[in-house]
A and B are shown apart, each in its own frame.
Chain A
Amino acid sequence: MRIVVAEDLYLLRDGMVRLIEAYGHEVVATATTGPETLEALLTWRPDVSIVDVRMPPTQSDEGLRAVLAARGEVPGLPVLILSQHVEQLYARELLADGAGGIGYFLKESVFDADQFIDALERVAAGGTAMDPAVIAKLLSSGSSNRRLGRLTEREHSVLGLMAEGMSNQAIGRRLFLSESAISKYTTSMFGKLGIADDDDNNRRVLAVLTYLNRP
């Protein structure tokens, strides 16, 4: 894959590039500020890019804004956002266009390199990948509590893993259940919540996230 890395701290940028290259992917450009990021995203149109939220010149949410601007120009441009903290607010803004190709992770998720590269590939394929921390907050928020009260505990955990962007197969592996058992759970769950089930995994994850993000 052709990848752009936008991160202002040298150590992290360098480490990330080395990690990505160790997995046989190509880093085509790096950026260290918001404007540079936007330019790199639009010129290179990478298969996927890794962008930090807080960057110079203002040290506020430069990276996030660059990503939103770039996806305004190129809908669905796959981006994985890395940050020191995750906010539901930002997750909402990233998912708002409903185009997919979005990942949102804590920086320490790179500690598990296999899972990180896996998430990166999912995002590159137009999927959605969310940090468990984002999903945990999403599931415990006030409006979710009310709406998800009808789900059983098992359905609840399946929904959480699905919202992180996992396929039925991956969820089955994580919960030590068969794929068919998981699809039974998802069918009953979608019935209870009134979400249309979709064979396409990416579209299904988006539907779940949209449902959870509804105010």
Chain B
Amino acid sequence: MRQLVSWAGSACVGFARACVVVVVAMLVPAVWAAAVAVWIWWWDGDPWSGIAPLVWAAIGTLALSRPLCRMVRSLVERWTGTVIPAGYREAGPVIQLSTGYWWNGFSYERTSRDALLDQKWRTRWRDPAVWRDLRFTAIAPVTMGVVAAIPLGGVVAAALGFSQPDLSARLVGVLGLVVAIAGAPYAWRSVEPVAVRFLRASTAMALADRVNELTAQRADTTVAQAAEIRRIERNLHDGAQARLVALGLSLATVEKLMETHPDQARALLRDARAGAATSLTELRDLVRGINPPVLTERGLIDAVRALALNSPLEAAVSTDVQLRLDPPIESAVYFGVAELMTNAVKHAHATRARISITRDDTDIVVDVEDDGRGGAGVRDGGGLAGLRRRLAVFDGTLEITSPAGGPTRVRMVVPCASL
């Protein structure tokens, strides 16, 4: 009984969805049918006299294709959960130049309004997605439109059949009813494969997106690298280098004072030794910031263990793997964990942390969880945004859940082929 009810429910829902699909798919053919009807209406022997409605239909098709495809995409996502990326080309920024003119990536315009308008049309026109959408509006009626129309056709046949008194017509009516009821839960489903096949981004579009993404990442990496090199240079310049100069000065003075003032010389030597020790400490900290020695010596897992031991948190590291990854990936993940632990101490005021490192077929998955007060989020220019960008270089991702009041859970996933 319950089964029957649920089946009836799905049949009703399916019928409604099939109707929606038919309406959406047949919108453009309806426009054309209307245009052709008007053309025939105005027919006076000259085929060119009634061309205007057809031109309007063509313009209507162009205008309708994008909203139509948007609607199909959102319907598919709502009904089946399948997300079809739209892949429309994004317009670049419009900037005012020092001459007062506006540059939109294609041309110079006198006002920002002109520039935006020009950019809108050029982006539209050059976007391969436009042609894909047009193709889809042509294909949709004869594929999903036809299939989704089956239950509707069945109902129409039933209505017509039952309105006639003779037997054969009633038979057709019964047949139509059966087709309508049996087809209702399934007919609308044709929308998904059709949309996935014809509405997804083409290879060229996907590649263009990827190129944009990589260009942005490359710019990020270059900037980060330059900043890092500047930091190292400044550190060496103000730290070790300066101290070595001071050391040399002290030793030169000692040489001079050795005979005449041995006590002063001895004091200077003690200072020199202390200076050498300090510069070694500075160099060690610098090296640790560039590439922690334990990472080179033992790899990611032991380096994270060492990190946990040094942390003021009570940190437990659990892992089921022993792995050596490519050094750049190891370094990125290591510094990621280090940053998360620092955040846990500094911002979340946590006392405990759990780090787990696991791997599945293609990815290395690192979870960091603390018992702090939560409320962390990815903000533009913030530490987590930077971390996300650094992981993105390796196609890695960062997910964070941090409700106010805690706990904070962060998951880093980095694909790695070298497992």
Contact = CB atoms under 8 A, between A and B. Distances in A.
Nearest to A88: B309
B288 A85 contact: yes
A54 B310 contact: no
B312 A141 contact: yes
Interface in A54-93: 54, 59-61, 64, 84-85, 87-90, 92
Given A142-B312, A145-B312, A88 B297 contact: no
Contacts of A92: 309
Contact of A142 (B273, B276, B298, B315): B315
Contact of B310 (A53, A88, A215): A88
A108 B310 contact: no
- Give the interface size class of chain A: 20 to 34
B399 interface: no
A111 interface: yes
A89 B305 contact: yes
Contacts of B315: 142
A141 B314 CA distance: 7
Interface in A144-184: 145-146
Name, among B293, B309, B316, the residue most crowded by chain A CB atoms within 10 Å (CB to CB): B309
B348 to A, nearest CB: 14
Contacts of A106: 280
B302 interface: yes
Interface string B301-315: 010011001111111
A82 to B, nearest CB: 13
Given A60-B298, A111-B277, A142-B315, A84 B284 contact: yes
Nearest to A133: B281
B294 interface: yes
Contact of A143 (B288, B298, B314): B314
Given A84-B284, A89-B309, A60 B302 contact: no
A108 B311 contact: no
A54 B294 CA distance: 10
A192 interface: no
Nearest to A59: B296
Contact of B352 (A88, A137, A142): A142
A87 B276 contact: no
A85 B294 contact: yes
B312 A87 contact: no
A115 interface: no
Contacts of A111: 273, 276-277
Interface in B307-343: 309-316
Interface in B265-283: 273, 276-277, 280
Given A84-B284, A111-B273, A142 B297 contact: no
A140 interface: yes
Interface in A96-147: 106-108, 111-112, 137, 140-143, 145-146
A5 B74 CA distance: 72
Nearest to B345: A142
Contact of A141 (B273, B280, B311): B311
A152 to B, nearest CB: 20
B235 interface: no
B297 A61 contact: yes
Nearest to A58: B297
A89 B335 CA distance: 18
Given A53-B297, A61-B297, A108-B276, A140 B312 contact: yes
Contacts of A215: 316
A112 B312 CA distance: 30
A87 B314 contact: no
Contacts of A145: 312
Contact of A61 (B277, B288, B298, B351): B298
A59 to B, nearest CB: 8
The 3 closest A-B CB pairs, nearest first, are A142-B314, A88-B309, A89-B306
Given A60-B296, A142-B311, 15 more contacts: A53-B297, A85-B287, A87-B294, A89-B298, A89-B306, A108-B276, A108-B280, A111-B273, A112-B273, A137-B309, A141-B310, A141-B312, A142-B313, A142-B314, A142-B351
